[in-house]
Amino acid sequence: MLKSSIVKIVKPAFVAALLISGGVTSPLLADSLTVSPTRLNVKAASQTTLTVKASGKQASVLQMRVLKWREGTDPKKAKPTRDVIVSPPVARLNPRQELTVRLVRVSKRPVRGRECYRVLVDRLPGKEQSGQAVKLQVRHSVPMCFSS
């Protein structure tokens, strides 16, 4: 219990010290990425879409992928799959641009019960972070389940 509260205190203090000492050579960016919906429930033979919106002043490079996942388990245990494809898998969004991502189940096996996946949308570090000691990657992990 004590250990976790120390970690919570040390991390913000470390970041503050890094900023004050000039350890970060360029300003931190407040660009963000919004993904909606945050959960997808799809009929077995259907396809669906996801909307990704970039905000801020910098362009964003995105990578999208789908991982097989068992509902109720740790999302870190999801595994790569080719049963569902995402289009486009990579995109560049300008500031305040919106992208519709298409997700299609291509597996020939019929869905039995519920079949779940995780859609990962990663905002990769861009040129604006090239001189920074700490590079930030933003990841959204959206649960998607097909049902029969």
Give the domain ranges of the chain.
Answer: 28-147
Residue 4, CA atoms < 13 Å, CB-side half-sphere: 1
What class has domain 28-147? mainly beta
Give the integer Cα–Cα distance in Å for 129 and 131: 6
Average model confidence (pLDDT) across the chain: 80
- Report the pLDDT value the prediction gives residue 132, as an integer from 0 to 100: 59
pTM: 0.73
Q: Which two tokens stand for residue 38?
A: 């945050």
| 53-106 residue pLDDT tens | 988 788 889 999 999 999 999 999 999 999 999 999 999 999 899 999 999 999
Give the integer Cα–Cα distance in Å for 79 and 118: 9
